[in-house]
Amino acid sequence: MVSETTIGHRERKKQATRQALAQAALRLAVERGPQNVLVADIAAAAGVAPRTFNHYFPSKEAAIVAEGAGRAQVLCEALAGRADDEPLWDAVRATVGHLFSSASEPDRDWVARAQLIKSTPVLRVEQQRSDLLVQGLLAAEIARRTGCDADRDLYPPLVAGALIGAVRVAIEHWLTTPGPRSATLAATVMDAVQLLARGLPEPARETLSATIEEIT
């Protein structure tokens, strides 16, 4: 008879192997360029056989973007862990705030990895595919919290898609804004979520004027 302890050990080992493969794939892609990385290279760097790689990922691209997908999965699990009677947007803001503020600001390696995915079309496609999977999980949790029908109501997938899009746009904005950054990544992401929670109100007139002056 297999004990729960044995099952737990196996699951932890699988998670560790998956993480090692994802980290190796991303590191090699940054160092060599994605086109110069083979599945065999990733497996060797993670210390496993190439056939083991295929048990965890369908392609090298999926492995390269897996670390970001893992963070999105954590977001879903953290939202599910909030109290059921907490208002949805309070729960969303608290979850996103904790996820981004609990980690230190991105270092040079993180920025390089994010820029690589952003600038490589095939990786962007894979990232979008991963986002859609997470969006489905997030929509299901939003439906549960709001009493909506996960299969028929528009609200859950609309909020899930908007939230994932807001976080993605905030990260890209933070990465690509020229000159010294005036805000941390966590603050930029939270600004995006706050605007979304308020229904995306139009910017104040003085903010628009200041932006126009900077452009001209």
Residue 152 has pLDDT above 60, yes or no: yes
pLDDT given for residue 73 in this prediction = 77
| pTM score, whole prediction | 0.77
> 65-215: which CATH architecture?
Orthogonal Bundle (1.10)
Helix (H), strand (E), coil (C) string for 139-205: HHHHHHHHCCCCCCCCHHHHHHHHHHHHHHHHHHHHHHCCCCCCCCHHHHHHHHHHHHHCCCCCCCH
pLDDT tens-place string over residues 1-45: 445 555 577 888 888 999 999 999 999 999 999 999 999 999 999
Residue 214 has pLDDT above 60, yes or no: no
Domain boundaries, the chain: 4-59, 65-215
Lowest mean pLDDT among 69-73, 79-83, 90-94, 176-180: 69-73
Q: What six digits make up the tokens of 102? A: 């609990």
Of 115, 101, 93, 87, the residue nearest 163 (C-alpha): 93
Give the pLDDT band of residue 68 (cuts 50, 70, 90): confident
pLDDT given for residue 1 in this prediction = 47
Residue 167 has pLDDT above 60, yes or no: yes
pLDDT given for residue 212 in this prediction = 46
CA distance 49 to 53: 7
Residue 185 has pLDDT above 60, yes or no: yes
Average pLDDT estimate for 39-66: 94
Residue indicated by tokens 């997908």? 69
pLDDT given for residue 209 in this prediction = 52
pLDDT given for residue 142 in this prediction = 95
Contact 30, 116 (CB under 8 A): yes
- How many CA atoms within 13 Å lie on the side-chain side of 87? 4
Q: What CATH class is the domain 4-59? A: mainly alpha
Question: Helices 66-80 and 4-32 sit at what angle, rounded to 10 degrees?
Answer: 140
pLDDT given for residue 216 in this prediction = 45
Average pLDDT estimate for 126-147: 91
Residue 95 has pLDDT above 50, yes or no: yes
